Structure 1
């Protein structure tokens, strides 16, 4: 029997530190779950920027984010949204906003870097939440993560059993690929900047190839994929408030990633 396990990244494979800055008020939201922040308003869209953190840090803090994105041709991906929206519409907001400054991004980056800089393996992602109703960049966001204890061993245990592992995440693909190299997941099984709809499609496509497909996630943006999977595993290794609909969808709830191989073995024995 052929089995595939699809993992979310932030909060599932990685212990993740997140921060968001409200551009209008200057308020810093520490350890905020950016997907829940995005889902709180149907007009919000979470975008992942493909620019290198070093380049953002070198720029003048007074420079408008929109000018930097436009002048440096910074690509972006839509990571999370509650509604279907054209990428060009989001690009227009990113290029025309006159409030968010590079200094806002730099402030977020410094805080997160201070949390993860001592770790051996780290991933740092920068993004923006735009508001399509107000036509502004509403929040600057930064997330940094490091693998949970046992993550590498978990993937190895699954591979020894002949289980195929995948990553489907809203994070940047380049960052995910380096993390996948460390964990031992082939790069051709890594899907970055995946919206909830794309995650769902990935799971459905894999169901055409495998007898059983499991989805391991931790947040509301994993809900569609969990519903599409044969087995849904909800991770609470990084504790956060989970919506009821996410909890009710889970076949298993775990507090340690290292429980996943045992769940796979249990499912196989019952099949």
Structure 2
């Protein structure tokens, strides 16, 4: 990994940990680039026609080891573009804060119509919370829409935290409790935006 100059960052953790600390653990492990390639290939095989593909590691800082190589691939919800267009028509500022890389997020932003200067890449749980708090200084109301544990602090910090469960798998109760609202379809966000505008 070091030979290939692969840069690492932290997108989700249960405490403060630096990228340099993670890099050191990864470099000292027996992990090779082929492990990452194998995981990518498995995701591509099982999930054809995906919009994005990302890879990461689960690192046990206490044990100083890489316990898993993980990869995700995903598709946009079918209603995403229409939902964001409806929010834009209402004058909403649209932003993306994600643990993903700018390479994937720039493609996503073009596809769904979010200006690139409103895209925050490699955002950790704490970064997302800070971004929401900063946006609250600029806007009367901030709605945060998320779907994962790394969105929990940002959901709590928003005026309205919306957890989407449209992806179909179960979400931990801690995450559900951090949201003001749980929706089964991303298009439901428009109704909550309308309510926020009228209040």
1 or 2, which has the higher strand percentage?
Answer: 1
| 1:96 lines up with 2:28 in the alignment | yes
Q: Which residue, out of 103, 107, 114, partners 2:45?
A: 114
Q: CA deviation at 1:83?
A: 1.0
Q: CA deviation at 1:96?
A: 1.5
| 1:245 lines up with 2:174 in the alignment | yes
Which residue in the other structure is 1:267 paired with? 196
Unaligned runs of 5+ in 2: none
Distance 1:124 1:235 in 2: 20
Q: CA deviation at 1:101?
A: 3.3
How many residues matched? 199
Unaligned runs of 5+ in 1: 1-68
Q: Secondary structure of the equivalent of 1:74?
A: coil
TM-score (norm 1): 0.70
| 1:228 lines up with 2:157 in the alignment | yes
Q: CA deviation at 1:258?
A: 1.1
Q: CA deviation at 1:253?
A: 1.2
Q: CA deviation at 1:211?
A: 0.3
Q: CA deviation at 1:175?
A: 0.6
Relative contact order, higher structure (CA 8 A, sep 6+) = 1
C-alpha contact 2:8 2:22 (8 A) present in aligned 1: no
| Cα deviations by residue, 1:193-251 (Å, 9 ceiling, x for unpaired) | 11111100000000000000011011221110011100010100012332223222322
| Cα deviations by residue, 1:33-75 (Å, 9 ceiling, x for unpaired) | xxxxxxxxxxxxxxxxxxxxxxxxxxxxxxxxxxxx2112111
Question: CA RMSD, aligned part only?
Answer: 1.4
Q: CA deviation at 1:172?
A: 1.2
Distance 1:86 1:251 in 2: 31
Which residue in the other structure is 1:217 paired with? 146
